[in-house]
Amino acid sequence: MSFVSESPEQTAANPGGVDPDWWRGAAIYQIYPRSYQDSNNDGIGDLSGIIHRMDYIASLGVDAIWISPFFRSPMLDYGYDVSDYRDVDPMFGTLGDFDALIERAHGAGLKVLIDLVLSHTSDQHPWFKESRSSRDNAKADWYVWAEAKPDGSPPNNWLSIFGGSAWEWDAERMQYYLHNFLTEQPDLNFHCEDVRHQMLDVARYWLERGVDGFRLDTVNFYFHDKELRDNPPLDPADRNDSTAPSVNPYNFQDHIHDKTQPENLDFLRSLRAILDEFPGTTTVGEVGESQRGMQVQADYTAGDALLHQCYGFDFMASTYPAGTVVADVLTRFGTVAPDSWACWAFSNHDVVRHPSRWNLGDEARRVFAALLMSIRGSVCLYQGEELGLTEAYVGFEDLQDPYGKRFWPKFKGRDGCRTPMPWIADHRNGGFTDVKPWLPVAVEHLQRAVAEQEADATSMLDFYRNMLAFRRAHEVLRKGEIRFVTVSDGALSFLRCHDGAEMFCAFNLSGTAIPVEMPPGDWRIDRGAPFTTVTTERGLQLPPYQACFAVRQDG
């Protein structure tokens, strides 16, 4: 084994035009619009605020943005309770603002994905108001209605992710309706053909407005078991907190009847057929399934007629991502879904930010970020992740999330990862707004504000930009196959291979230096990556929380 060290020329991928396969290996930046930038001083972020920050987003080097819901909504679940799928809620702006955002993003070289919440609506949606008005109206079967048991109890034992029964009694129809989340979020009945057609029309509407695809919320929740059979209990040894917090009895059931039904595949084929009419568009499905999530991801992305990619919660649970854990997840995915494409994330708007969840210092945050951007698959980065933000503490008096209020104090909800983005350190609200924000700005976040990090060449922000640039410069990192070389709790190394190119990637996930043995052959250490590596006469010595990337020279 021999190697040399030099800095190669780096060129942006696909300099000659648009890659229809751009989504494969893309870096997607998630924006939670309520908390990104307030442009009109009402304390709530909006679409104009995103437009105002588009240069910053483009400077990160990501390929696309995913915008959490901005549709009309009573905001009981902050946009995930939709009352009009074809309009922008006034607190976020107008359809004209959205069109301007699309134009601005595309002008900056960014694709735009929007969050489609198709499994349920708000109870304020006109469809539900009509559906609940009688048992024989035109939309009577657009939602999931069922008779009470003879004793008046709910039709079965299904539970809501937000706590309690998944059934709510409606005195107008004298029936129960299904809600997998808040009682104010009734589930649509996807067994109804009119509902399926309406949802496909919603997708077409936004594609015609210029979006480049969708993040599909709770994509495996669309259909339910027509027979409304009880879910069986789950062995306590199989319970985990990847879909719901450990304090939630939702984890006590094996959810084989209330979601992930086989009929969903036909609907996903219909949805994909519409996207295929708009070349270069993509889908990212969110699979909320603790026991069979990886198999569902495989089923939903098999072939070329379903979803392009899915993500589960393998790396968004509390389990620390030791090298053995990461290798196990990726190996299982490669076995279960060898022809599928995954999308991986450490953080999003629903989970505790991963630096707090895994208790990572700055050096560990860097090496895990590099690992995320080096494994096979696309990646989602959540706003503020590039700043190294930790989970914010939000007192009960400031809490907005109904999920947190329901399970406080054992589970504090999702507000801690949703606090406003800090832009300026010496502004009381971090430059997010000039008035009281909808959630308080975390004081500890101000020292990590964008303006502070822009002026520091050693900052977390600078690291993310450099690592994203490195990833973009090497197609093998974005689209290559993966083959593990060494695996332990504290270290991980693998080869990425694509179109004749090979890259060796090694990660020290521990606090002590380790030796790294490369595969046989001649290798060049690629100094374009934002890491320090130390070479010795005995080979390569990797300092704590550092990574090494090398390119094969004798291929």
CA–CA dist 188, 82 (Å, integer): 12
Query: How distant is the alpha carbon of residue 380 from its chain centre?
Result: 6
State how beta strands 501-508 and 547-552 pair.
antiparallel
The catalytically annotated residue of 276, 277, 426, 489 is: 277
Residue count of the chain: 555
User: Phi and psi of 313, rounded to 5°?
Assistant: -120, 25
| Other C-beta atoms lying within 10 Å of the C-beta of residue 399 | 18
409 cis-preceded (ω within 30 degrees of 0)? yes
Are the beta carbons of 495 and 519 closer than 8 angstroms?
Answer: yes
The CA angle 109-110-115, to the nearest 5 degrees, is 165
The CA angle 173-175-176, to the nearest 5 degrees, is 130
The catalytically annotated residue of 38, 168, 217, 225 is: 217
Of 345, 331, 324, the C-alpha closest to 242 is 345
Strands (E), 412-546: 481-487, 491-498, 501-508, 514-516, 522-526, 534-536, 539-542
Q: Which amino acid is at 211?
A: V
Q: Which residues have a Cβ under 8 Å from the Cβ of 536 and sit 6 or more positions away?
A: none
Give me the residue label for tokens 């939309």. Answer: 139
Give me the residue label for tokens 């997607």. Answer: 28
H-only helix segments in 8-94: 47-52, 54-60
Query: How distant is the alpha carbon of residue 508 from its chain centre?
Result: 26
Query: What is the largest distance, in Å, between two alpha-carbon atoms of the chain?
Result: 82
- Helices and strands in the chain: count of H runs, count of E runs: 15, 22
Q: What is the three-state SS of 69-117?
A: CCEECCCCCCCCCCCEEEEECCCCCCHHHHHHHHHHHHHCCCEEEEEEC
Q: Which residues have a Cβ under 8 Å from the Cβ of 114 and sit 6 or more positions away?
A: 66, 67, 69, 70, 206, 211, 214, 215
> Which tokens sit at 291?
């026991």
CA–CA dist 461, 109 (Å, integer): 20
Query: How distant is the alpha carbon of residue 495 from its chain centre?
Result: 26
Query: How distant is the alpha carbon of residue 38 from its chain centre?
Result: 23
> Which tokens sit at 234?
């789950």
Please confirm, yes or no, whether 277 is among the known catalytic residues: yes
Question: Active-site residues: which are they?
Answer: 217, 277
